[in-house]
Amino acid sequence: MKKVAVIAIGGNAIIQADEKGTLEEQFNNILGACDPIIDLIEEGYTVVLAHGNGPHVGNALLKVEAASKKIPPITLDICGAETQGSIGYMIQQCVYNRMRKRNISKNIATIVTQVVVDKNDSAFQNPTKPIGPFYTKERAEEILKEKDIDIIEDSGRGYRQVVASPEPLEIIEKDAIKTLVEQDFVVITIGGGGIPVIRENGNLKGIEAVIDKDRASALLAEEIDADYLILLTAVEQVAINYNTDNQRSLDRLSVSEAEEYLKAGQFPPGNMGPKIQSAIKFVKNSEGEAIITSIDKLQEAIKGKTGTRIIK
């Protein structure tokens, strides 16, 4: 049986902090991420790709605001759906072109994915999910005077808008995804953590939120019985005492060790925290393993040569 790997790519890897976010930049960034993923495909892994959309959703809201006198506003769930389609298209095309160049023939499909959340989730009273561009402190203060939104300082990188990030509970399209995985498709799904929906009298209804893509990826990996959940980030390995003289990189973490470090505050909520929490949840609820690493170390990490592996 082929090994199944769910790989989560951050939205900030597609639009990087020092870029304008042009289509040319985004295609180049995605192309740069393709080869390590295709290396795994070539080695026989079935790959499911998830991706973030934080910068894209923020930009979509800015466009809506700029055109507010000409077109009606749209909600966050619709922004999520639009960015799933646009980012999925770019990833799908880039992966296809790179595989073609390497003489690999494989079907690819992007699934627009709805994810059920609880409308009473406490996250709606405590927005924490950063979206959109980074602002200086001065610009953030100006925006707060103009708009009724929440803004926080984001990990020393600047100030960003934050929105509700409820816990993902159920992936509506999981059976379709699982069928494609069984047929050895490359599947692109859970874009931006999925489109947030609630159930009302059995019907689905969109709600204003952005789901954390790592948490949604962990749920997906669990539901399709994946062997690996791979959470890509800017660093090769997770570290404790980060950015201090006592910083120490971690090769391997048991679930209990990871939980202890979380309680001790080693993994901040706005940075490594959601990745560690997602890895713990997947490992606890499955027979698989979770790996946190950078895209350029993907192949080495899955072979156990680097990265941080979370195990039972």
3-state SS class at 300: helix
Is 236 contained in some domain?
Answer: no
Please check the confidence at residue 7 and state whether its pLDDT lies above 90. Answer: yes
Mean pLDDT of 129-143: 83
The H-assigned helical ranges of 224-269 are: 255-263
Q: Does residue 156 sit within a domain? A: no
Q: How confident is the model at residue 92 (pLDDT cuts 50, 70, 90)?
A: very high
Q: How crowded is residue 282: how many other Cβ atoms within 10 Å of its Cβ?
A: 26
More confident: 139 or 198: 198
Q: Residues 103-125: what's their mean pLDDT? A: 96
Residue 251 has a pLDDT of 94
- Name the domain count of the chain: 1
Cα distances from 219 to residues 32, 50, 116, 148, 274, in angstroms, run 27, 12, 11, 32, 13
Average pLDDT, the chain: 92
CB count in 10 Å sphere of residue 255: 16
Cβ-contact 150, 159 below 8 angstroms = no
CA dist 94 and 100 (Å) reads 10
Q: Is 308 helix (H, G, I), strand (E, B) or coil?
A: strand
Give me the pLDDT at residue 197, please.
98
CATH code assigned at 23: 3.40.1160.10
- Is residue 61 in some structural domain? yes
Q: Does residue 77 fall inside a structural domain? A: yes
Give the integer Cα–Cα distance in Å for 194 and 111: 10
pLDDT tens figures, 185-227: 999 999 999 999 999 999 999 998 999 999 999 999 999 999 9
Q: Which of 10-24, 228-242, 267-281 has the lowest mean pLDDT?
A: 10-24
Cα separation, 37 vs 35, whole angstroms: 5
Q: Which residues are catalytic?
A: 11-12, 129, 213, 275
Share of the chain above pLDDT 90, in %: 70
Q: Give the whole-angstrom CA distance, residue 251 versus residue 233.
A: 15
For residue 69, what are its two tokens? Answer: 């006198």
Q: Is 161 helix (H, G, I), strand (E, B) or coil?
A: strand
In a domain, 148, yes or no: no
| Per-residue buried b or exposed e for 23-52, using 16+ beta carbons within 10 Å of the residue's own CB | eeebbebbbebbbbbbebbeeebbbbbbbb
Q: What confidence tier does 284 reach under pLDDT thresholds 50, 70, 90?
A: very high
Helix (H) or strand (E) holding 64: helix 54-66
First-to-last C-alpha distance (Å) of the chain: 22
Of 55, 89, 43, 233, give the one whose Cα is nearest residue 160.
55
pLDDT value at residue 302: 93
186 within a domain of the structure (yes/no): yes
Q: Are 80 and 194 in contact (CB under 8 A)?
A: yes
pLDDT at 234: 86
Give me the domain span that covers residue 61. Answer: 4-116+170-226
288 lies in a domain?
Answer: no
Global pTM value: 0.90
**276 inside domain:** no
